[in-house]
Chains A and B, each alone.
Chain A
Amino acid sequence: MTQDKLFRTFSTTIVWFWLSVFALVPSFLLFMTSLLVHGDSELVRLQFTVDNYLQLFNANYLRVFLRSFLLAGACTVGCLLLAYPFSYLIARSADRYKGILLLLVVIPFWTSSLIRSYAIVAILKTHGILNTFLLWVGIIDTPIQMLYTDTATLIGLIYTLLPLMILPLYASIEKLDTRLIDAACDLGANKIQVLLKILLPLTLPGILSGCVLVFLPAMTIFYIPDLLGGAKTLLIGNIIQSQFLAARNWPMGATISVALTLLMSMMLFIYWRCYKHKKEPMYESY
């Protein structure tokens, strides 16, 4: 008994130590930095202020937040629309193919996403693969400017984050009892009614976790807008990066980071509430 207890104390201590060193302390330092003042000669001046937070309400920052929000939202919706039918097909294909199909989804993960982004550049650029192909087929006369547009950023984001949507969707569609779909058809439901009344509600947990998994990184990945959007499309991730590395304004960078963290915490909280709502307590029968 005592040994068991000792082990439990020991393991919880390790977890707490780990969390403290790698999550709590850095977050606290970040938060403290956000309350300091940017100096010209030193990184931060030890002077307490909330000015940085007031600056967040500057129209420029708000615009970037809104843009990032919209782009991440578009990316999430795009991923969902692409991934749902795809996941459905994998989940409903023969057992012996499922593993292979999922492996094919995961394989690109083994290559650095930076390299994959350069590959997209090679495809989208003015004399890239796609334009060359379209010219050769004769669909267009002059190359289309695709690289360094919001569309390119969106394509890059969706391509990079799609697996994060597919995997949770696959898991929840795979779990779904197909007999429920049979039952709905039997009761006279057409395909749209089956989708809206049975499939979507029952795979909602998968949809929500997929959206969270895609939306959060989509807000912050900075190298994709950099490479594909040509740094014209400033997103939160880019601002944080440039505040820390280019402008050397650590307090401001920290402030934006903290604001972003708060925003995402709020979204995770909403997700958690939705999910908790799904699981109702079991009652004794009768």
Chain B
Amino acid sequence: MNNIIELKGVSKYYHDHPVLQDIDLEVKNREFLTILGPSGCGKTTLLRLISGFETPSSGTILMKGKDVSELPAPLRHVNTVFQSYALFPHMNVFENVAFGLRCQHLPKDEIDHRVREALRMVKLEHLILRKPHQLSGGQQQRIAIARAVVNKPLVLLLDEPLSSLDYRLRKTMQMELKQLQSDLGITFILVTHDQEEALSTADRVVIMNHGLIEQIGTPRAVYEEPENLHVAQFVGEVNIFNAKVLAISPDTIEVEFEGKQFTLKNSKNFSEAEFLYILLRPEDLEVWGVNEVQNPENMYSANVVQVIYKGSTVDLILKLKSGTQILATQFFNEDDEKLDFRLGESVWVCWRSGWEVILANDTR
């Protein structure tokens, strides 16, 4: 029994409108699971089903193997860090953190001890007598976390906890959450619409769209081997090309896109004349000046439309001869120190062979 939470065929309808459809999800004990999806994809509803604020229209939710589908929120051994923090404005920091323990009528000494311990963990012990409105956003965030973890829940649920913090603080808090999770040794389920946050915090990422789970996997797997177009588009930037299979051999396929033919690995049993998507991440593309290339046989000719300098990288928007615009990210490194592209300049584009992702195009 390694799964702390299991959802089996869980659906949720509001007035006959499906919000979640047939969700199967296994949450492993002590993992950091991140649910990623655009707003309205049902990720918050999924979290509220686990916390007990909603009951599933069908399907079951198991917690440590026991069916908790109908168990109300106060009786579930999970705690939530709300997006708005939802700190009690009439209570000071101590009373806020002690709330859950007081509801259990624990002895005073134990409450005092555990509250201080939780506050020490989020490094805010010195603010114990402050009221929430006297704290900054980041401090309120930490108190909300302390108020939840002080109850030693089986699972800590975090509903977009970092969305209202500024960029730098968000980065810091992501690292701290990760650290806190390994210190506490409990399961974290974090909901976010920020793909960078999802990838950098999670052990596993669940990607949702329109009430369905699109893919579950490690951050690396969902980024490098997306199972469908939505996952590829939602996690990071991607260039998508329409391609057609010209010929097949047991291991390779001959495809044509943007007017050139390539031999690629036949990774998914594609058949002849099938339509495909070829996905290329911007960082997989190499851009060369016209003078740098001797043999441009497998390269596309393009013009520089826009140059976006980002410090550690340079992003180029390129226009292929067919009119398709693509995005290419160039890094500063020893091989290629010349990255000063001019607008309108003619360049050659290729990609590192084998880094492409090939998906079947079901729409044709």
Chain A: residues with CB nearer than 8 A to chain B?
Answer: 177, 179-180, 182-190, 193, 197-198, 201-202, 278, 280, 282-283, 285-286
CB atoms of A189 and B103 under 8 A apart: yes
With A187-B147, A188-B74, A197-B99 already in contact, the answer to whether A285 and B88 are too (CB < 8 A) is no
Partner of B51, one of A180, A186, A285: A186
Partner of B100, one of A179, A187, A198: A187
CB atoms of A187 and B103 under 8 A apart: yes
Name the A residues within 8 Å of B74 (CB-CB). Answer: 185-190
Name the A residues within 8 Å of B136 (CB-CB). Answer: 285-286
Q: How many residues of B contact A (CB 8 A)?
A: 29
Return the chain A residue nearest B48 by Cβ: A182
CB atoms of A188 and B104 under 8 A apart: yes
Name the A residues within 8 Å of B82 (CB-CB). Answer: 179, 182-183, 186
Most chain-A Cβ atoms within 10 A of its Cβ — which of B51, B74, B100, B151? Answer: B74
Chain B: residues with CB nearer than 8 A to chain A?
Answer: 51, 53, 72-75, 79-80, 82, 84, 86-90, 99-100, 103-104, 130-131, 133-136, 139, 147-148, 151
Partner of A183, one of B88, B133, B151: B88
With A187-B103, A193-B103, A285-B139 already in contact, the answer to whether A201 and B90 are too (CB < 8 A) is yes
CB atoms of A184 and B99 under 8 A apart: yes
CB atoms of B53 and A182 under 8 A apart: yes
CB atoms of B135 and A285 under 8 A apart: yes
- 18 intermolecular pairs with C-beta atoms under 8 Å apart: A177-B86, A179-B82, A179-B84, A180-B88, A182-B80, A182-B82, A183-B80, A185-B72, A186-B51, A186-B74, A186-B148, A187-B151, A188-B100, A188-B103, A190-B103, A193-B103, A201-B90, A278-B90
With A197-B99, A285-B135 already in contact, the answer to whether A186 and B88 are too (CB < 8 A) is no
Q: Roughly how many angstroms separate A198 CA and B88 CA in the complex, as a whole number?
A: 8
Given A187-B103, A193-B103, 6 other A-B residues pairs in contact with their CB atoms under 8 A = A182-B86, A183-B86, A183-B87, A184-B88, A186-B148, A285-B136
Nearest 9 CB-CB pairings of A with B: A187-B100, A285-B136, A183-B86, A179-B86, A283-B134, A185-B73, A188-B103, A189-B103, A186-B80
Partner of B134, one of A184, A201, A282: A282
Return the chain A residue nearest B88 by Cβ: A180
Name the B residues within 8 Å of A193 (CB-CB). Answer: 103
Name the B residues within 8 Å of A183 (CB-CB). Answer: 80, 82, 86-88
